[in-house]
Structure 1
């Protein structure tokens, strides 16, 4: 048993030395845990920020103005009032991401128990903002209508949802950590396969096969050596890139 462990240990050291001189793989590891973490975190905008919105207020009631006032920054730019005839032109030109059409007698119909329809036109070419923005507008309408229809006494108890580790739900906090996890998974598979291919390219696979070594020893040696490299690289990425450069606070033990 001791001889097997020693073989695995020494073969692993040999693997680390071989990796040290493989400049392409070393550069790939550095890239995966630096730029490949930084670029998606900074370049991918998952949040709804400063979305352009126009409102066609055909009602002119206090409730319709209340809905417009609820479209607040930093999620939306100040709403712009337009007419019904301008909707198609504004959407075709991409001037606004969202156009909300509030119908006539909107407040009066609600007070009589009817169910008026609010039309929300969405520019789907802005894919990320279109999806999250439409949901946000739906929530705004739901909250304002509920607040209008419900008495203040019934609203004395309010359910408030908070995110514990990311209160503002900033997408770079999610993306940065997820990129480290994704790249760790990818490299853990890739490096072990590349280690065997490197042996074949260098012509040393035959040397290993004729040595008094078992297939399990060769396999385990490559696994622990590359797992160590990935673990060290991922830890440094968490400390230096995620916490240091991207300023993402990590709660708990790394």
Structure 2
């Protein structure tokens, strides 16, 4: 039995070796896919374009212009009033600030002059946050100008903020690891489902039916071979892309994480086989995966915290292996958790994976019986 499982698994690996489209997908997903997902997640305000119409030309207006600095803003562009609307309409500036004439004189006289801020709200990721930044910076600069010194008044109480596990709040640290986790789930389902569809399209399923192998042996062969491919790609991605290219520190044990990944792959490859028995072609398999994969990734806690979701959704997603895998992956890779902390999630993945495997095996046997 072990020999059959091993030889059938080698056959799956040889078939994958000839499928250049899937090989390219694996290579891209665990390299450029991870890098782009991490680097394309901008900070709350990062290199926002800003232009200033300075009609005052005073020391205070110059102070306001100089206050907008990197990395939050690009170097402010000085423009005239006629160019302000054209720049906003053309999408060249996210923010344009119009400082009126006699601004400094009115501030010193206590007349409370108004400064016009135009915001391109189509830049959703930065528009609203940036408007708040600009207002805060402007008020601070005017206040310090009137007080003739730069400083923070003493407060009755002080809040000490300590940021753990990601002291600089770098979003790339979160985005890269979460993308690796998403790719593990996606590729394991796609590879096993595609392997079954490929055999049906090439007619090799009929060859398996006349061989002295059982449906269990065929399934286990697909599980270990496709799981091994994803596991190796995961290890290389964490070492070369996450730690090497993106310089993201990994605090926990990689061996413990890879062991947990192997258990998770047992569940997701079983799901892929189940979908492969339901779908009749690659396009149908793709549609099924989209319908299942998007909720698994969005509602498992990898995109938003589960605590912010409705209670019903939280309870329903406990039946998904991705929920427990995301939880233990964050605990191991971010917080350096050990086996004594993540064993409940490991146990849940084993139970859920076993149920998925049994369901896929029953469906696979039924499919083979119909073809015999």
Partner of 1:46: 42
* 1:205 to partner: Cα distance: 0.2
Of residues 128, 135, 155, the one that matches 1:141 is 135
Conserved 8 A contact 1:70-1:140: no
CA RMSD of aligned residues (A): 4.0
* 1:30 to partner: Cα distance: 2.4
Conserved 8 A contact 1:37-1:179: yes
* 1:91 to partner: Cα distance: 2.0
Label 1:135 to 1:102 Cα distance change in 2 as closer, same or farther (>3 A): farther
Label 1:88 to 1:229 Cα distance change in 2 as closer, same or farther (>3 A): same
Conserved 8 A contact 1:67-1:140: no
Partner of 2:187: 187
What is the distance in 2 between the residues matched to 1:145 and 1:158?
Answer: 22
How do 1:49-68 and structure 2 match up within 5 A? 49-55=46-52, 68=65
What is the distance in 1 between the residues matched to 2:189 and 2:79?
Answer: 56
- Greater mean alpha carbon deviation, residues 26-35 or residues 180-189: 26-35
Partner of 1:77: 74
Label 1:77 to 1:38 Cα distance change in 2 as closer, same or farther (>3 A): closer
Do structure 1's residue 28 and structure 2's residue 42 form an aligned pair? no
* 1:242 to partner: Cα distance: 2.6
Conserved 8 A contact 2:52-2:77: yes
* 1:196 to partner: Cα distance: 0.8
Residues 149-171 of structure 1: CA distance to partner in whole angstroms, max 9, x if unpaired? Answer: 9x812276255464632615254
In structure 1, stretches of 5+ residues that fail to align are 111-115
Residues 130-164 of structure 1: CA distance to partner in whole angstroms, max 9, x if unpaired? Answer: 53254034045247648959x81227625546463
Label 1:214 to 1:156 Cα distance change in 2 as closer, same or farther (>3 A): same
In structure 2, stretches of 5+ residues that fail to align are 145-151, 255-372
What is the distance in 1 between the residues matched to 2:160 and 2:60?
Answer: 23
- Greater mean alpha carbon deviation, residues 71-80 or residues 223-232: 71-80
Partner of 2:240: 240
What is the distance in 2 between the residues matched to 1:155 and 1:145?
Answer: 22
Partner of 1:153: 154
Partner of 1:176: 176
Partner of 1:113: none
What is the distance in 2 between the residues matched to 1:35 and 1:80?
Answer: 34
* 1:199 to partner: Cα distance: 1.6
Residues 169-194 of structure 1: CA distance to partner in whole angstroms, max 9, x if unpaired? Answer: 254x4443343233222211110011
What secondary structure sits across from 1:221 in the alignment? helix
What secondary structure sits across from 1:75 in the alignment? coil
Q: TM-score, normalised by structure 1?
A: 0.70
Label 1:19 to 1:53 Cα distance change in 2 as closer, same or farther (>3 A): closer
